[in-house]
Amino acid sequence: MPRRAAVRPAALRSPAFVRLWAGSIVSSVGTQMSNTAKLWLLYALTRSAVTLGVDGLCFSVPIVILPLVAGPVCDRVDRYTVVKVSMAAESLEAAALAAVAAAGVLRPWIIYLAAVTEAARLAFDIPARTALTTALVPRDAVLSAQSLSAVVWNSAALAGPALGGLLLATTGATAVFALNGVSTFIVGLGLLPPRAARPSAAGGANEDGVNEDGDRQPGRLGDGLRYALAHRELLALQGVLLATSTIALGTETLLPVLDRAVWHGGPIGYGMLRAAPGIAAVLTGIAISSMRPARRPWRILAASMISACTGLIAFTWAPLLAVGCILLALAFAAVSVAQILVATQVQQTAPERLRGSISGFNAITQGGLAGIAAAVMAITAASLGARTVIEAAAALTALAALMAPARTRRKPPLDSPATGEPRLGSPAGPPAAPVPQHPKEPLMSSNPDAIAALPPIVAEHIDAVNAFDTDRIVATFAPDAYVNDARREIWGTDAISKFVAKEFVGDHVTMEVREVIDHYGDILVRARFDGTYDKTNLPDELVMTSYFGLHDGKITSLTVIFNQPSPY
């Protein structure tokens, strides 16, 4: 995936992230322990599989609906506080269950209520924690952070049920709930990053969601949804997440059916099959966390999806249980690669002020929609067979992998190339022409080969310029980057942000790429500029050269020059 291994995971170089990550481990393991105990007690009380389905619905329905509200809330308030309240709520819920279990008055409706409250808690916790995680690390460490977050979840899914089952058998349900409550409260809250280590909420907005220019920041109900619907890449990423989560959950659900029909491994064989995906996901996450970001993530994403689907189809035809476990592990390793890439791309694509809302969609997709789709797979398998259903789902996912990412790469918001430049060396004046209408097409260019030669960060920068997206433009720069425009030096992302908002986005600058040159690592982009800036004394067709300096996947310098023809 990435190009070379780092000495250690880049995200672990951030002390604030390490504290949040360690707290997540405690919270996730405790949640899995409690869920194991709750399901065991529910079945012991009712002896009905239907009640287990009802409990699943009590969780799935809220997790599909509530993030639509919870995500914007996480964009409007301090995300650190949201995570803190969420962990406190988990402790209180565990304490209440421990008290009820100790008193011997536990009833099915109480467990159903606990499932609803758990879904409500996670509806806020997931968007806030995901957005906070991304904000605590540099942009080039987001992949590492998302990989380590995946390791937490998959490790908890392995260790939590095992530890919960052991405690349930030796000390009883009361001890399971009590341990979860106490450990989450004491250890989890204590490991959250201190206030001084956190980024400001809402992307630089104050507590009322108003930035220093007096503009109210987005984050209201519907803002994230409108943004996602307007950006095809985000929709494609959610589609990938839904597809991979569905085939993963559906396959895990059908493992006992497939084992009984093909390998007859019994409880031990089923346990091996259940453990293989989790172990593969943990090892994959650890490996990716030490790698650098990929240059072409969409290609890797498509390849990982196709590999996962191929592996699952081969898995259903494995002649031996051991071979099946290996193929299943390889398929889930590929699923993990795809989902980590999706999480990274989503966080890097979404503006900081809307990351809570966009992360809420991930919770809806993985926590709700994928569970419903997996249930449909299980129901369908009753008539068509587990092997047929898994193969059909894998084939459809592979087909989508071949088509959707390719369309997204050909028609990104990258209407055109490199940086825009408002003033273009002349003083700005009132708009000289109406705001140009920008076609919803691929990068504007009279030279398709030039587009293919653009490094990903430059292509993203150009895309953001033509989309008039200040946040995305600024996100392509290194913190200490500088811009030289019309012999003015603008240093640092704060100054660049103001410059971009006023003179790039404010003047509606667009570019049409004509030529791209890679000169020993420096990228030269010649492009035709247009916009509503003052065009006095400028040629009808203004072609300028943007000189990009790159390092570690970020723009470190950008110089825009209106060159004259060489006399030599």
pLDDT in tens, the chain (568 residues): 444 444 577 788 888 888 888 778 888 888 888 888 887 888 888 877 677 777 777 888 888 888 888 888 888 888 888 888 888 888 899 999 999 999 989 899 999 999 899 889 988 988 888 888 877 887 777 888 888 888 887 787 777 777 877 888 888 888 888 888 888 887 665 656 555 444 444 444 433 343 444 333 545 566 667 777 777 777 778 888 888 888 888 887 777 777 788 888 777 777 787 778 888 888 888 888 777 766 667 778 888 888 888 988 998 898 898 898 899 889 888 888 888 888 887 877 777 777 777 888 777 887 777 777 877 787 787 788 888 888 888 888 888 777 654 444 433 333 333 333 334 333 333 343 343 443 334 455 445 566 677 888 898 898 888 888 888 999 999 988 999 987 788 998 888 998 998 888 888 888 888 888 888 878 999 988 888 777 777 787 888 999 999 988 899 999 998 887 777 7
- Determine the pLDDT at residue 109: 92
Residue appearing with tokens 């299980």: 378
First-last CA distance in the chain = 45
Contacting residues for 398 by C-beta, under 8 A, at least 6 apart: 305, 306, 309, 310
- Determine the pLDDT at residue 370: 79
Residue appearing with tokens 């349930």: 168
- Determine the pLDDT at residue 211: 43
Distances (CA, A) of 363 to 15, 51, 262, 376: 26, 24, 34, 19
* Total count of residues recorded for the chain: 568
Q: Are 122 and 363 in contact (CB under 8 A)?
A: yes
Question: What is the dihedral sign for C-alpha 363, 368, 373, 374?
Answer: positive
pLDDT in tens, 194-253: 554 444 444 444 333 434 443 335 455 666 677 777 777 777 788 888 888 888 888 877
Q: Are 130 and 339 in contact (CB under 8 A)?
A: no
Apex 507 CA angle, 504 and 509, nearest 5: 60
pLDDT in tens, 282-302: 888 888 877 776 666 777 888
Domains of the chain in start order, with CATH, are: 10-202+217-410 (1.20.1250.20), 448-561 (3.10.450.50)
Contacting residues for 203 by C-beta, under 8 A, at least 6 apart: 211, 217, 351, 352, 353, 471
* Alpha carbon distance 271, 264 (integer Å): 12
Contacting residues for 172 by C-beta, under 8 A, at least 6 apart: 101
Going by the DSSP 8-state scheme, the letter that residue 429 receives in this structure is -
Distances (CA, A) of 398 to 301, 330, 386, 409, 533: 11, 16, 18, 17, 47
- Determine the pLDDT at residue 208: 35
- Determine the pLDDT at residue 279: 86
pTM confidence score = 0.63
Question: Phi and psi (nearest 5°) for 400?
Answer: -65, -35
- Determine the pLDDT at residue 193: 58
Neighbouring CB atoms inside 10 A of 488's CB total 11
* Alpha carbon distance 468, 501 (integer Å): 9
* Alpha carbon distance 208, 258 (integer Å): 54
- Determine the pLDDT at residue 160: 78
Q: Which residues pair with 483 in a beta bridge?
A: 490, 558
Which of 567, 510, 272, 240 is closest to 402 using CA atoms? 240
